[in-house]
Amino acid sequence: MGKVVIVGSSNTDMVVKSRRLPKPGETVMGGDFIMAAGGKGANQAVAARRAGSDVTLIAAVGDDMFGRRSVEGFRAEGMDVSHVATLEGVASGIALILLDEKGENTITVAPGANMKLSPSDVDAAADVIRAADVVMVVLEIPMETVERALKVAHDAKVRVLLNPAPAPQGPLPRDLLSKVFVLTPNEAEFKALTGLQANEDDDWAAARKLASEGPGAVVITLGSKGAVLATRDKAVHVPPYRIKPVDTVGAGDAFNGAFATALAEGRSLEEAARFASAAGALATLKLGAQPSMPWRDEIEKLLSSQ
């Protein structure tokens, strides 16, 4: 069992499902309401755990019902929560999600305690990071905390996966990218990083160019079009799984958590991307983020069916 450490966010998702997404200033009568654990860091931690990893989450929650409920959920998943800080006088992170009948969504996040996760929290967990097979970091926490996590892992020669979500405002520093083993943006995040579309018209040249600017590889998740794995020298398209999505919330996090798991087990980048693609597809079949994260036997079953 590989050891995966996730440094990132924990939120509670409040989801309203309706026939269509409202336009600005418009009220649309919705249907089902769901409250579920979320946040990119926590989602990826649950995804990695269910995919088969020994997982430690480094995160922060508020001392409120949302935070307590989140930590209880992490424990129930079998994750190490000794580095999930509970902060007094700070609200836990909340995400408000609108979901239409096609599975598309809009999301607004109030980060709360996530923005209080500090470099000192990373330092307190440094031994755990150094002992990991893979460290995954997301951007829903302060950038100085991201930088510290990357440095601790890189200095210990631990492979770092950086999921640049939410989309950054422009390129990331080359010094930061040089510490990343694999960068895992979606299409919107890739465009925010490079100003370019992720398309195959020129043999994924834009993705290969980004890979040449620091990270060892770039994996771009393309939703219903699958994913592309690019190094500076070549690019490989990972085909999608043909399914009818119910809810796309959390699909990218399922991909990232499963990808980290596969790499921690010693699989190649291409094998890991295919494993992750199956996990991402399965995550769209259920409502909610963490509740939709697939289990390993489900992933392997879908892989063997293709």
Q: Which residue, among 168, 112, 110, has the nearest Cα to 137 in the 3D structure?
A: 168
The model's confidence at residue 262, banded by pLDDT at 50, 70 and 90, is very high
Residue 92 has pLDDT above 80, yes or no: yes
Percent of the chain with pLDDT over 90: 69
- Given phi > 0 = left and psi -120 to 50 = alpha, else beta, which region is 170? left
> Which of 261, 250, 260, 301 minimizes the C-alpha distance to 278?
301
Instruction: Tell me if residue 253 is catalytic.
Output: yes
pTM: 0.91
Count H helices and E strands in the chain, helices first: 11, 13
pLDDT tens digits, one per residue of 145-187: 999 999 999 999 999 999 999 888 888 999 999 999 999 999 9
Give residue for tokens 């190490």: 80
Inform me whether the pLDDT recorded for 238 exceeds 80.
yes
For each of the domains in the chain, give its residue range(s) and CATH number, in order of start: 3-8+40-92+115-305 (3.40.1190.20)
pLDDT at 249 over 90: no
Predicted confidence band of residue 100 (pLDDT cuts 50, 70, 90): confident
CA distance 55 to 8: 13
Helix (H, G, I), strand (E, B) or coil at 279: helix
The catalytic residue among 13, 64, 121, 253 is 253
Show Cβ contacts of residue 263 under 8 Å, excluding neighbours closer than 6 positions. 2, 133, 134, 159, 161, 182, 269, 272
Kindly tell me if the per-residue pLDDT of 270 is higher than 90. Answer: yes
What token pair was written down for 121? 């929290």
- The answer to whether the beta carbons of residues 251 and 291 sit under 8 Å apart is no
Q: pLDDT tens digits for 53-73?
A: 999 999 999 999 999 999 999
